[in-house]
Structure 1
Amino acid sequence: MNRVLNISLLVQLLLVAGFLGLAWQADQLMDKSGVGDLEAWNRFNNFAGIAFYGVALVWLATIILSLAGRAFGTPQAQLAVGMPPLALVLGWLLSWVI
């Protein structure tokens, strides 16, 4: 069970990094006044949405799996459930600074 939770954490963090990177690239393509490459912005925005929904799906599956396996109190389960939302929030806040 611990191995599955560690793999889940790795997949979630990779998807979070992909989401933040794709959202940042989409933001760079469009000016705040609406001038820019709309087609490329849509493409990056769609891929960022897929990565975000992937994080949500794997996160919910991790919660269900750790509850079903009665491993929710283990450190691996706590990291696999708590780290991805924290990484999303910190990455989003960091994007305001950069």
Structure 2
Amino acid sequence: MALGGVSQEIKQADNEIREIVNKVKSEIAEKLGKTAEVEPISYKTQTVAGTNYFVKVKVADSFAHLRIYKDLSQAVSLHSVQDGKTSEDNIEYF
């Protein structure tokens, strides 16, 4: 994959993405206004000066898409959240 390109491969949630999502779970709850458990389902990546993770998560009885950034020093931050998604919605670059 070229620098800046978003992977076309959708990866199933693994321990790495669970750890990344766990690091920003309080921010996710704040943006969604929900305190339910956040369960990563699948994700795509984009290599920049670090990595953007585009993650589909299940929160209570709904789904959301997250954009999480991990910089070169491994610091993780929540960039944005798209709520109101379904299990069938494709993960989009945003």
| TM-score range normalised by the length of the shorter chain | under 0.3
Q: Give TM-score scaled by structure 2 length.
A: 0.21
Higher share of residues assigned helix = 1
Higher share of residues assigned strand = 2
